[in-house]
Amino acid sequence: MFGFLNVYKPQGKTSHDVVAILRRVTKVKQIGHTGTLDPLAEGVLPICIGKATRLIEYLKDDKAYIGTIQLGKSTTTYDIEGEAVNVSDKIVTKEEIEKALNGFRGDIEQLPPIYSAIKVNGKKLYDYARNGQEVEIKPRRVNISELKILNYNEDNRQLEIYISCSKGTYIRSVANDLGEELGTYGHLIKLVRVQAGMFKINESVKLDELSSKEQVETNLISPIDYLDYPKYELTEKEFEKISHGMSIKCIKNIPDGIVVLTANQILSAVGEKCSNDIKCLKVFI
């Protein structure tokens, strides 16, 4: 079995839970996901099956989310599962929120939540937090390419936002930091990932619809469709060389860099073009 799956991860399941379920269903051990989602979150979770796990590094890693923020209270985890830290009765307007969001667009420095899986000195941050240990958390540079208000209910102070961002961006931190910027505090109460690279939510399949090996095979996606690089169709002689991991001369006008090598429109290898040569990086024949 070889290919990608665009799985809709349900709330309450971890990304590792999804992988474990698919391993049981398919009897395939070589299965991986391309981006962790917290149990609270739901939505798009790209899955790689079989040798397709070797393609994870070539998949686009930008993300898009719809998040719901409850203003008026911050929590230890920056989301609904944490304990209350600060509360405020302050009511803010949509105009004030729009103005505050300007500081969150583009390249920004973001401080990850203490309750996260980021490792410091080989230990995950949430392990420090659970043990009551203090640890220095360094801000990370992330990019938020799009951030807009989808809905704001001033009566219950709930804000729904759409956010398109780079890998490693914590929406929980956006919720917490936005609340502080507004002087009213805030935490995340719902999160749906609507896109991960080229995987979109309207094309995803629910986990309970993958309860048999046949259902998984039916929903497998050809890696070629989701590898956003130039494609190079091999001749018979080139295919023979590639099958032995040998380089070939490039006879097509394509830019230097990663190139997807195909035979009869089926993935054969991933290579790298430099000048007039294509060197094999990973072979799938």
Tell me which residues are annotated as active site.
38
285 contact partners, CB below 8 Å, separation of at least 6: 239, 242, 243, 268, 269
**Could you give the CA distance from residue 95 to residue 97 in angstroms, rounded to a whole number?**
5
Q: How are beta strands 231-233 and 257-263 bridged, if at all?
A: parallel
Residue 164: name the closest of 177, 151, 145 by CA: 145
Number of neighbouring beta carbons within 10 Å of residue 150: 11
